[in-house]
Amino acid sequence: MLRTKPEAAPSTNNISPGRNGRNGGRIEVKKLDTQFTASGSNGTAETPELRKRAIYIARALPIPYCSHPNPPSNTSANKGGQGAASSPAAAARPLGALVSEIARTVQPPKKHTDGLPIGSQTKFIEAAKCAAILGLPINTLLTVRWSSLYHHDNANPLFAQSPVERIAYLVELLRKWIGARCRGGFQYLWVREATSELGEHWHLAFHLPHGKRKAIASYLSDLLGESLDHTPRTRAQGRTEGEFACSVWGSWHLAKDTHPERSGFYLAAYLGKGEPSERMFRGKLVPNTRKLVRGQAFGGRERSGRYDATQGQIRGTTALKKRFDIARPLKQAVKTRQSGDLSGMRG
């Protein structure tokens, strides 16, 4: 004789809506009556409709539970289950300050780069050509060593800013200073580099009007907080090619373009030396032919390796890499020149 399986008891976990299915915004839930079958299993088994998986959109901040009057200290202090009350200063700390501190520490990482992108040196050279067409050739190079500047004056207000903010601040002041003395405005290129000998340093190549070298040197001594050395350095002391001004501790110096007939070509190429001299092609390292100025070891013409050395890792912001920049008018001029429409360029 066949035995039929007893029917499961109906679930009493019912939801009874009120009038018009709304019940005035309230839902009445009857008491769950757990009834078991003969096999001992619960007749009201859980289904996906009864419980849905929680979805977490954003990461929760690790804020400790602070509503208890005597919150326990950390686990290292509570070894063996012997809790100790926190200090009065920690207990009196407002929750808003704690949340602000955690929000400052929980931040996305900053972008970093190990070199200039492929094609950067060509882009700098094109910008220098456009500056020459506009009648504002790139003829001056400023180099600032941040570590040396900080070492000799750690109270310098420039170091209250991050390197990205510091550079933006200096560029803005130089734009106003040169813009008041040059009708063409401030045309520049700048690059951040880092080496084991010099640390992080900054190169700024720009157009300086004729007869303003002494004035710009005096202005930079006030701007950077390190006075000008009126005795020129010798080559043994580290004098660079074309140098016409230097600070007393060598934290910054100015140099002129020693090849003015090339209209800033070599200054732009020097700023682009951080671009790799070789690149990957089909799984092999080959010379980077897009880098116009490179050493003979990488298929170039330069005898020295000054254009091939790596220029270190640079950290930018959480959104931007900020390793280099070109003046906006020069960017627009390069786009106009590449498109073939030269009507927008003024010589």
Tell me if 321 sits within 8 A of 313, measured CB to CB. no
Could you tell me if residue 68 is inside a domain?
no
**Of the ranges 38-52, 101-115, 171-185, 227-241, the best mean pLDDT one:** 171-185
Could you tell me if residue 69 is inside a domain?
no
Q: What is the pLDDT of residue 10?
A: 52
Residue span of the structural domain in which 256 resides: 112-339
Could you tell me if residue 176 is inside a domain?
yes
The rounded distance, in Å, linking the Cα atoms of 274 and 312 is 8
Q: What pLDDT band is residue 238 in, cutting at 50, 70 and 90?
A: confident
Could you tell me if residue 289 is inside a domain?
yes
Q: What pLDDT band is residue 343 in, cutting at 50, 70 and 90?
A: low
In this model, does residue 167 exceed pLDDT 60? yes
Tell me if 200 sits within 8 A of 146, measured CB to CB. yes
Domains contained in the chain, number: 1
Q: Answer with the residue of higher pLDDT: 57 or 225.
A: 225
Q: What pLDDT band is residue 5 in, cutting at 50, 70 and 90?
A: low
Q: What is the pLDDT of residue 339?
A: 85
- How confident is the model over 203-224, as a mean pLDDT? 96
Could you tell me if residue 308 is inside a domain?
yes
Lowest mean pLDDT among 67-71, 91-95, 323-327: 67-71
Lowest mean pLDDT among 92-96, 142-146, 335-339: 92-96
Average per-residue pLDDT in the chain? Answer: 81
Q: Answer with the residue of higher pLDDT: 65 or 147.
A: 147
Could you tell me if residue 327 is inside a domain?
yes
Q: What is the pLDDT of residue 333?
A: 94
Kindly state the percentage of the chain with pLDDT values over 90: 55
The rounded distance, in Å, linking the Cα atoms of 167 and 171 is 6
Q: Minimal CA–CA distance to 247: which of 273, 229, 225?
A: 229
Tell me if 37 sits within 8 A of 6, measured CB to CB. yes
Q: What is the pLDDT of residues 296-311, one digit of tens each?
A: 999 999 998 899 999 9
Could you tell me if residue 310 is inside a domain?
yes
DSSP 219-262: HHHHHHT-PBPSSPPPTTTTPPTTEEEEBTTSSEEEEE-S-GGG
Could you tell me if residue 153 is inside a domain?
yes
Q: Minimal CA–CA distance to 137: which of 203, 205, 192?
A: 205
Q: What is the pLDDT of residues 121-138, one digit of tens each?
A: 999 999 999 999 999 999
Q: What is the pLDDT of residue 81?
A: 47
The rounded distance, in Å, linking the Cα atoms of 112 and 340 is 35
Q: What pLDDT band is residue 38 in, cutting at 50, 70 and 90?
A: very low
